[in-house]
A and B are shown apart, each in its own frame.
Chain A
């Protein structure tokens, strides 16, 4: 039993990390149908930014908001100077631009902040919580708590605010949205800022668990992307379900089948799901009207 609980806790913690990162993909996808491959870099910038500011002598509670602001600025700049000038170029081009941006950001951080890996201290100490003989990291609770709050906040934002509804409207039909007076350009800018903030938050919350490094965005971005795809791109619940499912599959297959094949098991399950449900667990099937 203790063994099962331990795998469960591990799966939950890791799954919540994937989910939090995966959520960032859905906002920009919602606004533009672009998959932002620089999302992992936002996550990395959040963690590395906080670490660097703390190394410069700032206390954690100052460094965190400052780092989030910096990452939001990077997100806005990326949209303004890389994505917006090419906004008529089609989704594939925009995706390639985000890949280029991610390489650039990674390179700049590598040169400016170095190649070492760093760790943020856990927010509430290192002593694990022991439940039924299994250990749960207190930082894992922070990640799970943040996940719940972010999902609730996003739901409220998209369903009850004008801006949120405008983003959804733009996602369904940019032309019609523009006709009813929505400034489509601002929408894309806002969505980049928002997902940069979300990414930074994810990077900071997870840095005590995953550690942070200039190239951690590749790994977290990939897992978060897999979570978002599994759950259904564009759906907040989907990203959460996908992330938790991915984390749980990894932990359980590492525990009960073989740690050497756990990634293979996870990817086979993802492929299986996508084969039968191409738009993911929670994705809405889109029909093209001619």
Chain B
């Protein structure tokens, strides 16, 4: 009995010593932020600029002395757009790397797959993916950065309504992102007094959308087309729209096409298409008083200096995610997970590249509709039209 208790006492002593040591070391230990991103694969157009942005700013922040006097350490894994890999990497981040929080998840699929894991581990998670389902219903430990697909639809519908266009034809791919946008397109039409009169689909592997567009063209009463999608098919759709002589029917696309690639790929076909985009893409055109102007221009400058090319609109999600995380850590004055979570939830008027964030316990995204800017493609570039 005595032996046992002595051992027990020794154990407690040892544990106490270890704890004391770690406590002392903690001040010098880096703040660990983990990330899993689709750096390769189908969603690499998201993950690649996001990873570049995280690395760039981790570097800059460390050079400027870090956060709370501690260095910043970013651990990034490439989940390649695969939800299963995302789960594996999230588990590794939590259990092996013992990160303080996670900023990542380029796609909705990867994000949703990781949600149960972060909820159980009680670790703050800022997702960089689009769909509303991530924060609706609100999940205690999950936040998300960019505009949602619903906001892109609403912004476009608002603009259509302003122009008196009421009969909408939707065209989009069969992928998850496209389908989510299409669903919102149907659901929100009534709210803005619009009517969906045609709905056409293409496969992500299609190389000609003329049949779908011809059907839309021949549907009586179509006044405006709304496109859902991203990547090469959207460029092809835009080009076919022009080739079929349909430019008399105004065309809107969701924010998935907010990259120069879309315009270049369409080979002149994108001229006149309207798109809700993050302020980042039109930073120079924003009026001098716009609070997002300075933040966006600084981010563009830093990205250009580091990588010799302008950032796409998607890298901004990572910029916002990282900076909101660090802002919360500073306000919480620790990396205690619960305190940091509360700090993120109370983020107010945080000016990021994607918009101005006002988080509440009911809203874990915090962006409003006016963080999107409506642009039109003119002379192969974006022109702010509001």
In whole angstroms, what is the CA distance A131 to B267 when docked? 22
Give the nearest-CB partner of B245 in chain A: A135
Pairwise interchain contact B40-A10, C-beta atoms closer than 8 A: no
Known contacts being A6-B244, A10-B210, A254-B211, is A122 close to B48, with CB within 8 Å?
A: no
Pairwise interchain contact B265-A117, C-beta atoms closer than 8 A: yes
Pairwise interchain contact A260-B201, C-beta atoms closer than 8 A: yes
Pairwise interchain contact A7-B214, C-beta atoms closer than 8 A: yes
Choice from A110, A126, A209, A258 contacting B208 with Cβ under 8 Å? A209
Contact residues in A for B211 (Cβ distance below 8 Å)? 6-7, 10, 251-252, 254-255, 259
| Contact-size category for B | 35 or more
Question: How many residues in A have their beta carbons less than 8 Å from beta carbons of B?
Answer: 42
Pairwise interchain contact B232-A213, C-beta atoms closer than 8 A: yes
Q: Is there a chain B Cβ closer than 8 Å to A194's Cβ?
A: no
Q: B223-251 interface mask toward A, CB cutoff 8 Å, 1 = contact, 0 = none?
A: 00000000110011001001111000000
Q: B176-218 interface mask toward A, CB cutoff 8 Å, 1 = contact, 0 = none?
A: 0000000000000000000000001111111110111011001
Pairwise interchain contact A6-B210, C-beta atoms closer than 8 A: yes
Task: Give chain A's interface secondary structure class.
Answer: helix
Pairwise interchain contact B243-A115, C-beta atoms closer than 8 A: no
Q: Is there a chain A Cβ closer than 8 Å to B370's Cβ?
A: no
Residue from A9, A115, A223 with most neighbouring chain B CB atoms (10 Å): A115
Choice from A117, A254, A262, A263 contacting B231 with Cβ under 8 Å? A117
Contact residues in B for A117 (Cβ distance below 8 Å)? 231-232, 235, 261, 265
Q: Is there a chain A Cβ closer than 8 Å to B350's Cβ?
A: no
Q: Is there a chain B Cβ closer than 8 Å to A279's Cβ?
A: no
Residue from A10, A216, A251 with most neighbouring chain B CB atoms (10 Å): A10
Give the nearest-CB partner of B239 in chain A: A126
Q: Is there a chain A Cβ closer than 8 Å to B44's Cβ?
A: yes
Known contacts being A9-B210, A10-B210, A117-B235, is A122 close to B267, with CB within 8 Å?
A: yes
In whole angstroms, what is the CA distance A255 to B218 when docked? 11
In whole angstroms, what is the CA distance A209 to B242 when docked? 13
Q: Which of B's residues lie within 8 Å of A, judged by CB?
A: 40, 42, 44-45, 48, 174, 200-208, 210-212, 214-215, 218, 231-232, 235-236, 239, 242-245, 261, 264-265, 267-269
7 intermolecular pairs with C-beta atoms under 8 Å apart: A17-B207, A116-B45, A210-B232, A211-B232, A255-B215, A262-B203, A263-B203
Q: Known pairs A119-B235, A259-B201. 19 more at Cβ < 8 A?
A: A7-B211, A10-B208, A17-B207, A110-B40, A110-B44, A118-B261, A126-B268, A126-B269, A128-B244, A135-B243, A137-B243, A206-B207, A209-B208, A210-B232, A251-B208, A251-B211, A259-B202, A260-B174, A260-B201
